[in-house]
A = this chain, B = another copy of it.
């Protein structure tokens, strides 16, 4: 198998949507309408026995009626009609068939599982490769493909493979708000033919892909998966969230996609051995993608932490040390620079830097963080915004923005990774919520990695540090 095997899947020159529909509350509409919306430049063929127009394209009664070649067929028809469709795909010389169609082995029903095996055999016979079944398929904005109409059109280099459709969506929706821009996102569902192993091998060699995230419950062929993982992790950061770790989770995974979830200890060890990074929640998967995608890789574990009050300083120190970062004391070189400008706090200020003792000193925690990041003692920065303090002050909006602009400039200037900690919007007042969202958007627009808690920031830095 070569890396070009999946090229047409991710870069089809023409797409037919079988089961396309003019009903805007249907997948058959979404797949069709997404193509022009995401700038797909090839031919689009909605297929619907009733003909008519769907999302602005004339519909064909059958795939066989389509005038041109078709690289990718997306199937939204019931499972019982799939064997017939495969036969048509063979006749048309279709390269890839994405089966959004579900109700196969994942139901746990013997007849449905048998149908899946028939589908697999028929596809092999006619030479069409299958993505799915029971998966949303592709979100690849650079190529004009999307499984939802509401996802960002901006293209990037973060690839995701996910067994679960909703989790793929969640990584994109929540990750985009944190600054991730996506390349090839694949919800492979049951992974019957195009497996996660093959996707990993392809993404390993794919020049568009810089970072890979994966949500897997189980895999049909563990050895192939770990070979793919090793190949990818040798070339770029790969983060794996393996779910179905527990008995109940595995049972649920089995009903979800009929893949064996496997023993977790073996998985953890194998992920580490392959050189990949393990996430244990979807939140961690997104956090790690944000860190790997937006920050320079840490070259060591010595962290300069700053911002927030005394409580946050203690919390920051605990989080860093518990996750294995080193909270090195403020070096004399930096302390003397502080003393030159603010002798009254020079003996008192430490690492982490407590913003609350700096009032009237002429220094902010951002200013001290800048000095620390310029010193060879530190290899990583963590900056607490401490927005709750601002909420209680007059002109909170202006002051918070001013402090955050200054912080963003410190981050931009430093070649070292700096994580910014800005809380979630669970605040009382609507203006506070809008303000926090807007500040986060500003950071994100400047390419800054933002985390809602200092523990999450420290965790990802500890996972990426050598």
Binding site for B on A (CB under 8 A): 24-25, 30, 106-109, 148-152, 162-167, 169-170, 173-174, 176-178, 215, 217, 243-249, 251-253, 255-257, 281-283, 308-322, 327, 347-348, 350-352, 354, 356-357, 386, 388-389, 391-394, 423-430, 432-433, 437, 440, 452-453, 455
Contact = CB atoms under 8 A, between A and B. Distances in A.
23 contacts: A107-B357, A108-B347, A109-B347, A162-B311, A163-B311, A165-B309, A166-B311, A174-B426, A176-B428, A217-B311, A217-B314, A244-B314, A245-B318, A247-B321, A248-B327, A248-B351, A251-B317, A252-B313, A252-B314, A255-B310, A282-B315, A424-B452, A426-B440
Contact of A425 (B25, B356, B437): B437
A453 B280 CA distance: 13
Given A109-B348, A318-B243, A318-B246, A166 B256 contact: no
B256 A314 contact: yes
A169 B393 CA distance: 13
A320 B149 CA distance: 33
Nearest to A255: B350
B24 A309 contact: no
Contacts of A251: 317, 350
B283 A453 contact: yes
A425 B428 contact: no
Contact of A245 (B247, B322, B392, B452): B322
Contacts of A107: 348, 357
A313 B389 CA distance: 38
Given A164-B314, A320-B248, A150 B389 contact: no
Contacts of A176: 428
Contacts of A440: 426
A308 B322 CA distance: 33
Contacts of A255: 310, 348, 350, 354
Looking at A173, A248, A320, A357, which has the most chain B CB atoms within 10 Å of its CB? A248
B169 A321 contact: no
A217 B312 CA distance: 11
Nearest to A244: B314
Contacts of A429: 150
Contacts of A243: 311, 314-315, 318
B318 A244 contact: yes
Looking at A108, A283, A311, which has the most chain B CB atoms within 10 Å of its CB? A311
B165 A252 contact: no
Contacts of A249: 314-315, 317-318, 321
B248 A317 contact: yes
Contacts of A386: 166
A313 B254 CA distance: 11
A281 B453 CA distance: 9
B248 A392 contact: no
Contacts of A352: 252
